[in-house]
Amino acid sequence: MISDSDLIALVRAYNPKTNEALIRDAYAYGAKMHEGQTRHSGEPYFTHPVEVAALLTEQRLDDATIVTALLHDTIEDTGSTFSEVERRFGSEIAELVNGVTKLTNLELSSTETKQAENFRKLFMAMSKDLRVILVKLADRLHNMRTIKHMRPDKQVQKARETMDIYAPLSGRMGMHWMREELEDLAFRVLNPDARASIIRRFITLQKETGDVVPKITDDIRAELARANIEGTVYGRAKKPFSIWRKMEEKKQSFSRLSDIYGFRVITNSEDDCYRALGVMHRRWSSVPGRFKDYISQPKTNGYRSIHTTVSGRDGKRVEIQIRTRQMHDVAEAGVAAHWAYRDGERVENPFAVDPSTWVSTMTERFDHADDHDDFLEHVKLEMYSDQVFCFTPKGEVIKLPRGATPLDYAYSIHTRIGHSCVGAKVDGLRVPLWTRLRNGQSVEIITAEGQRPQPTWIDIAVTGRAKSAIRKSLREEHRDRYIKLGRELTRVAFEHIGKKSTDKALETAAKELSLIDASQLLEYVGSTELSAREVVTALYPELVDKADMDVVDSKRPVVGLPEGVQVKRAACCQAVPGERIVGIKYKGEGVFVHAIACDALVEFEEQPERWLDIRWHAGRHAASNAVTVALTIGNSFGVLGRICTLIGEQKANISDMHFIDRKPDYFQLLVDVDVRDAEHLHGVMTAIEADSDVATLERHRDLSRKP
């Protein structure tokens, strides 16, 4: 365990004016309070707070934050109290310790309604003092580094919470090194086979090509020297989870993935950044669509850098980030750079974002959320999404999350513009409302009086602000009808278990489900945002047949169909439960379910009367949804049999198989696999792609197969 003298030495290295007596006193107090306590590993418990404090010294944080790390578990796990900590160490530290204690007690991975309430508390704590979350993130990082000593079920719970909440949060705060490590540590627990597969392939690649990182680093240094640009160059292979995520997003195998190496160029000035960019692009071919200038358009957390991807040595794609030393400090520390010390003084970094400003940009839209679901949607989108920058016809910049559509753009300008939107032009060309916007595009919204939001817009919109405004408008328009329908649905559900749907019962259920009143509950049931059985379960869980509730009728797999209308899955996109969908009416044939991103929907753009707002029934679907996957596999003994076995092990059935091409060294084939939902399909494809003899794997969609 690090001694108090060693810890003080770590702080003194960047802050010679540190209050050594304060840190020594906090160290002694924490050791005394945790005396006799042990961790799962058998080590003294106090080793954990000390390691957390040491992690925070790497970010050059102030004395109050270091002391808070030493004491962060005292109020929760020992006989210490807030009053005692305040008396000994002052109100600032006591409030910070208390804030960390409250965060520790939040169940951020609980049910969605409770999760939303706890997210509110999380952001309230952040708004008071962001150092609270810095200590909590360091606490989580050390716990993840030592997670192997916990029970397997606890490891999975903590890893999932880390992947879903703490890793994205650290990324949004600009602490990308922490995000990468948290993701990789969680990945090690959640999918160890996939991680091991990535590492094995890396080793094989290095044996075949050698370690290319130092070679490319030397190439970049030589080019900078030739142009008389002073700069430092760092290179590294990307983390296993980062590579896995790229494989999933691009639906490519490891052998097809090219940009698995990243390089940073640290220059002395902003001018040198752009000069270095010119050098890189003159020496190597830039990859179209892979350039981002975060110096001229900084991220909200203060991040500034130029990103470009080039075809480097031997045609390998490499990502290069170019920035100044001050920009690099913010890129490493993120929002924490605001508290950083150097030589005993707070560092005045012009690029560090004021934490209060950053938190307000994160939370300003949350206050407008009508309910828990809207709030949770806001939070997760803000934490997970990167940004795209679009321009108004007048040249003003509009920031949106990646994947945003013209509808999101319209609502970001004003709710009135969004409500009256009938079309959009991107770079002067008319486009469908579900078009995904890209960086640098100019967007013009076409409006019309009398236009109202359509139900299908919910699936088209991406931002919480747009979704919330659309839902609110639809509710107001259809509220009376929804309440009437909801009353009838709940009456039937209550009668099914021998109970009556009284006003008091509905009010009690609304309270249990954290809704305003019975009217809102009935409205939600009528609009299918809440099922009648969920209402019954809230009051009489012991009377509800769980199995019956969870299994979805395969003849009626979607919600929102007119009575008596048949529904089929469109063959062109093969949508499965878990994916966003829309219904298209076909005369005499019923309704066909299309994935919201299906290219075939373009032909129905001018026929809004044929569109239906539908969604999959909640619950467990039968494994009867055929999805076609395209495979390229090695032509060697036993490979095809092994692939079939892998699919069977995932509890999926092969309903058809068709060979496209047979070569001496490989086969190309299409396989129809019957799955339950998108998660089941993901598991099947992951299992197949991990096989070393699978060269390519992707989901096959065929627009020629019309309904």
Catalytic residues: 76-77
CA-based torsion, 470, 471, 475, 478: positive or negative: positive
* C-beta of residue 689 within 8 angstroms of C-beta of residue 650: no
Interatomic CA distance for residues 628 and 700, integer angstroms = 5
* C-beta of residue 51 within 8 angstroms of C-beta of residue 2: yes
Interatomic CA distance for residues 437 and 401, integer angstroms = 9
Looking at residue 191, the DSSP 8-state letter turns out to be -
Q: How many CA atoms lie within 13 A of 211 on its CB side?
A: 7
Instruction: Enumerate the β-bridge partners of residue 673.
Output: 627, 654
Interatomic CA distance for residues 29 and 343, integer angstroms = 28
Question: Pick from 177, 199, 186, 169: which is nearest to 321 by CA?
Answer: 177
DSSP string, 671-701: EEEEESSHHHHHHHHHHHHTSTTEEEEEE--
Question: What are the C-alpha distances in Å from 192 to residues 16, 189, 240, 257?
Answer: 43, 6, 11, 20
Interatomic CA distance for residues 656 and 674, integer angstroms = 10
Integer distance in angstroms from the first to the last C-alpha of the chain?
A: 67
Report residue 702: phi and psi, to 5°: -130, 105
Interatomic CA distance for residues 646 and 635, integer angstroms = 17
Exposed/middle/buried for 282, CB within 10 Å: 0-12, 13-18, 19+? exposed
Looking at residue 303, the DSSP 8-state letter turns out to be -
Interatomic CA distance for residues 523 and 472, integer angstroms = 12
**Structure tokens given for 569:** 């899955």
**Burial profile 617-648: b = 16 or more Cβ within 10 angstroms, e = fewer:** bbeebebebbbbbbbbbeeeeebbeebeebbe
Interatomic CA distance for residues 98 and 89, integer angstroms = 13
Question: Pick from 533, 529, 536, 411: which is nearest to 479 by CA?
Answer: 529
Question: What are the C-alpha distances in Å from 515 to residues 4, 159, 500, 518?
Answer: 51, 31, 20, 8
DSSP string, 340-367: -EETTEE---TTPPPHHHHHHHHHTTGG
Beta strand 590-595 with 567-569 is parallel
* C-beta of residue 698 within 8 angstroms of C-beta of residue 630: yes
Q: Which residues contact 339 (CB under 8 A, 6 or more apart)?
A: 61, 62, 65, 131, 346
